[in-house]
Amino acid sequence: MATFIQIEYAASHPGLGRIGTALRAVRQLASTRGLAMLLLSALAGAGAVAAHEVLDSLAEGHLLMLWLALWMVLFVALALFSRSAGHLARKLNQLSLAVAKNRLDWAMPLSGDKRG
């Protein structure tokens, strides 16, 4: 018969692999460094939106100079707030660990507890 047909099946579902990769990315984002990066990105995004609103209302004569000034201000703001964002991320991480520990303490019955 047909001995030249070779059918190879995948060992795992490709969709499950993508979901696993996404979950690992979310776990990495939940770390202190990822959270600081997320906070700084939110700060940069908010600054860019505010600057866009200001630039829309101005005349186009000095638009290039305004964009250069905008990006300079944004980078300086990121540099100034990077340490604060890292500190805030560490505090939020400690808070989430304390909440998780508290939930675990309430979920696990005490050794002498008869409630079961």
Nearest to 37 by CA among 97, 82, 95, 100: 82
Tens place of pLDDT per residue across the chain (116 aa):
566 676 777 777 778 888 888 888 777 766 767 777 777 888 888 888 887 777 777 666 677 777 788 788 888 887 888 888 788 888 888 888 888 888 877 776 655 555 54
Show Cβ contacts of residue 73 under 8 Å, excluding neighbours closer than 6 positions. 47, 51
Residue 72: φ, ψ to 5°: -65, -45
Q: Whole-model pTM?
A: 0.40
Q: Contact at 8 Å (CB) between 43 and 75? A: no
